[in-house]
Amino acid sequence: MASEFVYTRRVEFADTDTANLIHFTALLKFMEEAEHALYRSFGLVGYRWSDDSVFGMPRVSVSCDYLGAVRYGDEVDVRLRVREVRRKAIRYSAEFTIDRPGEREAVARGDWTVVCARREHGCRDWRGIEIPSPLKERLRALTAVPE
């Protein structure tokens, strides 16, 4: 059974649109913020390794189902799960919930896959690399599924 990492984010004014709802891309930003908060919880700071080289986790695939209205001021819990840790890629899912009076409402569900990459050619390009072992172990501990 996968562990859940919970990241809470308030919907700010700039996250909303003329429909009086959160813009659909803002929930996807929250998704990425939750993932980065997970990395920070492992001690990774600003996408830098101890040797000061920079890596990244570009998304290769994203999907999201919108289930309920999310509005300015709402506090959204992003309930992140690590679904699969491969050699170079990680698959995540998240349920987005809001605690309404008397109930927890699921307002969206997302799935996404990131790959581990390292910069090369100065600042311009990225090359896929294996996920470094310490990070891979921390992530696999969260999936809690034997390989």
Binding site for a second copy (CB under 8 A): 12-14, 16-21, 23-25, 28-29, 32-33, 36, 40, 45-47, 54, 56, 58-66, 69, 71-73, 119, 122-126
DSSP, collapsed to helix, strand or coil, labels residue 136 as helix
Q: How far is the CB of 125 from a second copy (least distance, A)?
A: 7
Q: How far is the CB of 33 from a second copy (least distance, A)?
A: 5
Q: How far is the CB of 143 from a second copy (least distance, A)?
A: 22
Asked whether 101 and 125 are in contact (CB, 8 A), the reply is no
Nearer to a second copy, 60 or 145 (CB): 60
| C-alpha–C-alpha distance, residues 28 and 20, integer Å | 18
| C-alpha–C-alpha distance, residues 112 and 132, integer Å | 20
Asked whether 53 and 118 are in contact (CB, 8 A), the reply is yes
